[in-house]
Structure formats: C-alpha cells, structure tokens
Amino acid sequence: MSNLRRWLIALGAAAWSLTVAAAGATGASATAQAPSLPPTAPVIVDGRAIFSVSGGPSYPAERRAREIVERIDAIANDPTFDPVQLKVEPDKSGEGTSIFAGTQRLLVVLDNDAQAEGASRELVAEVYAIKIKEAVLAHRVERTPGFLLRSALYTAIATAVLVVFVWASRWLMRRALAATESRFQRKLEGLETRSFGMLDAEHIWSVIERAIRGIWWLVLLAASVAYVDFAFEAFPWTRHAARWLLGLVLDPLRILGSSFYESIPNLVFLAILVAIVRYLLQALRIFFVSIARGAIRPAGFEPEWAMTTYSLVRVGVIALSVVVAYPYIPGSGSEAFKGISVFVGVLFSLGASSIVSNTLAGYSLIYRKAFKLGDRVLVGTHLGDIVDIRQQVTILRTSKNETVVLPNTAILNSEIVNYSEMARKKRLILHSTVTIGYDTPWRQVEAMLLEAAGRTTGLLKDPAPFVLKTALDDFYVKYEINVYCDDASRMARLYSELHEHIVDAFNEHGVQIMSPHFIAQPDQAVLVPKDKWFEAPARRPAGNQDEASKG
C-alpha cells in the first residue's frame, strides 16, 4: 500500500510539473512561434496508450513504439522481475535519458520526446517510468484468475441485460406502433379526404412506421456497440479490438462534429446570403409583376416582357450568389467535390446543348414579339392558336383541337405567319379565288363577288372589300375577292360562309364557275337552279318558303 501511495504522489507531482511546464510553453508561444513537432506514435500496452514517443526518417515512431511494447511485455511476463527495479539514468553522451529494467534498457527519452510533451527530458523520463510500472502491475493483475472470473461474470450480466433490452425495446416498439396507428389512423384518413385523394393515408402511415422502426434499429445498434465495447474491454487480450471498434464508430462522428463546428462561420454566411437573395428575388418579382399588370410603365418596355425578364434576372442573381457562396460551401475545396463538379459540368455540356438552345430561342421569340398567347399563327405546316409559351417549347392548338408541341428552335428556324397581329389592327385580309369564262362580263363577276362578301357576317365593311383580276388564262379569267376581318380565330368559318355565298350568288345570276381545266364549252351553263338548292337531305331554313316559290 505504501508503494502505491508513493507512486500516486509521484504521479501527482509529475502531472503538476507537466502542467506548469505546459503553461510556460504556452506563454512563450505567445511571443514566438513554436517549432514544428516531430511525428509521434503511441505506446499501447494491453489496449491502453501509456505514452507517446517520437521518431525520425531512419527510425520511424511506429517501429520505435512497437519495440518498446515488446520489451515492456517481456518484463511484465517475467515473474522474477520487480517493477521497483525500474530506474531512470541519464546517458553518458548527454543526448537522452534512459529507463532501465534492472540491467535491460527499455527506452531512451530523447529531446524530441520532451519537446512533444512540453517538459524537460528528465521529468518526462520520470513520468514514463511511473506509467511503465503501472502498466506492468496492471498486466499481471488482469491475468489473475480472480480478475478474469469477475470479467467473465460482468460480461455474462451485460449479455443478459442486452438480451432483456432487445426484447423489451422490441415490445415497446410494437406497442408504440399500435398506439400511434390507433391514434393517428383516422386523422390520416381525414387528411386524405380533405386533400381529395392527393395524399395517400396508407403511404403516410408507411413512412411513419418506417421512421419508428428506423429509430429502434439505431438504438439497438448503439446498445450492441456499447455491449461489444464493454465485453472486449473486460479482457486484456481483446481490449485493443474494443478500442479499434469504438474508434471505428466514434471517429466518423467525431470528424463530422469537428467539421460541422469548423463550418459554423461559413454556414452562418451562407444562411445570411440565402436570406438576402431570397428577399431580393421577392422584391424583383413584385417589381416585374407590377410592370406586367401595367402599374409601372417603363419607356420602351413591353408588359409582355416582364415575367420573361424576371426569369432571366432571377437566373443571373442565383448564378451570382452561387459563385459567391461556392468557397464557403463545406467541402468545396476537397478533391472529391471538385471531381463531382467537373463531372456535372461535363454532363451538362454534353446533354444540355438542346435545352440551352431551345431556352434561348424561346426568349428570342418573346422579345421579338413574334406572337403572344391566343394568337392564331402558321408555323411551317401547322396552323393554330398559341396556348402556352414555355422556355423549351411552344404549344399550339389547331382548329381540330389537336395539340402540337413545337421546340422553340424549330419555330425560330421556320417562317411564322401571325394572323392575329393584323386582325387586332383590323387589317387582316381573307381572300378566295374563282375562275370565270371570258363570256361573262368582269363587272358582273366583280359585283357578284362583292355581293357575296356583303352577305357574309363577321366581315368588316370598312375597309371595304375589293376584287382583283389576278390572271387572264387560256379559258377563263381568275378573280380574287379580298375582305377584311378583325377576328383571326374565325378564319375557317368566315371562309366557309364566304364560299357558300359566292356559290349562291353565281347560281342566282346564272353564271357558271369554271373548273381549273375543261375540254370543251358545254351547251348549257352548269348551274344549280334555285328550287334545287335544298334537295334532301338538306333542310330549308325557316322563312325561305316564299323565296323558293318565287324562284
């Protein structure tokens, strides 16, 4: 007992001396930069690191520590050796302080060892000798039958506790699942009803159940790791494995925690930057929405450009903020992060060329004012109304209710005829051609065409319709009736009604409409008498009975 008390007093004195020396070293480092410390390796005996030693290029620290451990194990396994025989003696060369076990030298404490500990070489040697004595005594005690029996008993108790814990936690987990299901099942069903089936109660419950089971597995994993660490720590032969296993679990958590702590200033900067960018985008959106609604009217800026310009400005602000934030993103300087960035850039450059070209084409079409929503346009062979203008495509709906999705690049490279643009200005001209023989006066034909135009509802009276004689062919004259309208969406119906009235007018006046080609002049004009206009299955409109009897 007296020896143990003496060792404890010596250990306390050594610790106090090391503390004073470390404080002195800290004070000195405030005025002068401390030199770089040599690499060290721990001396591990029975899974416990008792101290560390330094090394050099020709004699690495790991090799030196391994040889010291072999010598300590040798004296610990020698029952004839008394730890009291450990002594500290300075080398004759003055370059180190040796620790002897009897006549065998265990190690030499060098100046680098003392520098790493931040104390004098003699004091470090005394502390190392005390720790070697403790390690030798612990080595012998931990291999006695009584110690091993107690360790086995504690391990058996820990095993029983683990089994009971697993069973009890599994029972509690099932009870928690049942209680949670009975409490929230009706609420989840009500939520599904209120969301009109958009939320699936069964799917939500599956997520909750998996979360509860995941928490149980995490707790079970933590308990298992704690049990294995306790069981391995109880025996000297497996203590090193216990330290390795605990390090395997805790080192990643320690690294994550340290990385998170070091990244706190950067994360605060990123949070402030995100808040500033968010409020800036909100202010820009309010500004451009006001332009789109007409509340703000910048000179030379069309309201239709407002939301498109906002999208461009938004992309620019976000891109600039990403450039500013990139150096502050945790891990942005690592090689893995750089490799992922290069990989994403290559993928984007290879696969996004069409996306970028379509997007730029879409913006070009908007700023050129080629068309807008609701316009009736002819793009290539597609005639229809613009129903949606997107960044990548423009959607067209034909008069047959067919949806045509056109890439913006295809539209930009095609001819575009916008009928609605001139219709809004009441300058859209509808025209149709008839061919009449030379035996019919052109003035009569012109009058009949103008009469048919006047009967057509939906055409404009001002500007007035007009007739052009576009060709004098071999067998007929080609006449073109031109009429104005202000509703491009009714083009098909107006053409149909105009053609109806043209046929009726020519039949009424006994003038034959020539086909594009014929072999010989017929003896009688090819006409439809007025009393034959409503032959079955056609039905005569109400109010036309008297006119038919007159005919």
Q: Is residue 488 part of a domain?
A: yes
For residues 128 and 163, membership in a common domain is answered with: no
pTM reported for the whole predicted model: 0.48
CATH of residue 448: 3.30.70.100
Average pLDDT, the chain: 80
Q: Is residue 462 part of a domain?
A: yes
Q: 17-27: per-residue pLDDT in tens?
A: 444 344 444 44
**What is the reported pLDDT for 293?**
85
For residues 381 and 508, membership in a common domain is answered with: no
**What is the reported pLDDT for 545?**
54
Q: Binning pLDDT at 50, 70 and 90, where does residue 456 land?
A: very high
pLDDT at 45 over 70: yes
pLDDT at 462 over 70: yes
Q: 436 with 513: CB under 8 angstroms?
A: yes
Q: 340-357: per-residue pLDDT in tens?
A: 777 777 766 665 666 667
Higher-confidence position of 390 and 228? 228
End-of-domain residue from the set 365, 391, 421: 421
Q: Is residue 302 part of a domain?
A: no
Residue 505 three-state SS: helix
End-of-domain residue from the set 76, 109, 141: 141
For residues 478 and 392, membership in a common domain is answered with: no
* Through-space distance between the first and last CA atoms of the chain, rounded to whole angstroms: 143
Mean pLDDT of 322-340: 79
The angle formed by the CA atoms of residues 464, 467 and 472, to the nearest 5 degrees, is 170
Higher-confidence position of 529 and 314? 314
For residues 444 and 489, membership in a common domain is answered with: yes
Mean pLDDT of 463-492: 91
CA 275 to chain centre: 19
The residue segments making up the domain with residue 112 are 2-22+36-141
Q: Are strands 403-407 and 393-398 parallel, antiparallel or unpaired?
A: antiparallel
For residues 447 and 410, membership in a common domain is answered with: no
How far apart are alpha carbons 479 and 433 in whole angstroms?
6
Element (H, E) at 269: helix 239-293
Q: Binning pLDDT at 50, 70 and 90, where does residue 88 land?
A: confident
Q: Is residue 207 part of a domain?
A: yes
Structure token digits, residue 167: 């069973």
pLDDT at 517 over 80: no
- Report which DSSP code applies to 288: H
For residues 80 and 7, membership in a common domain is answered with: yes
Higher-confidence position of 390 and 362? 390
For residues 432 and 533, membership in a common domain is answered with: yes
Q: Is residue 175 part of a domain?
A: yes
Element (H, E) at 389: strand 382-389
pLDDT at 549 over 60: no
Q: 193-252: per-residue pLDDT in tens?
A: 666 555 666 777 777 888 888 888 889 888 888 888 888 888 888 877 777 777 777 778
pLDDT at 524 over 80: no
Helices 121-141 & 2-29 angle (0-180, nearest 10): 140
How far apart are alpha carbons 183 and 119 in whole angstroms?
65
Q: 280-320: per-residue pLDDT in tens?
A: 999 999 998 898 888 888 887 877 778 878 888 888 899 89
How many domains is the chain partitioned into structurally?
4
Secondary structure in 3-state letters for 55-81: CCCCCCHHHHHHHHHHHHHHHHCCCCC
Q: 25 with 10: CB under 8 angstroms?
A: no
Q: Is residue 332 part of a domain?
A: no
Share of the chain above pLDDT 70, in %: 83
Q: Binning pLDDT at 50, 70 and 90, where does residue 434 land?
A: very high
Q: Prior bond to 463 cis, omega within 30?
A: yes
Higher-confidence position of 205 and 411? 411
Lowest mean pLDDT among 153-157, 362-366, 456-460: 362-366
Find the length of the chain: 551
**What is the reported pLDDT for 199?**
61
How far apart are alpha carbons 247 and 47 in whole angstroms?
12
How far apart are alpha carbons 394 and 412 in whole angstroms?
11
CATH of residue 366: 2.30.30.60
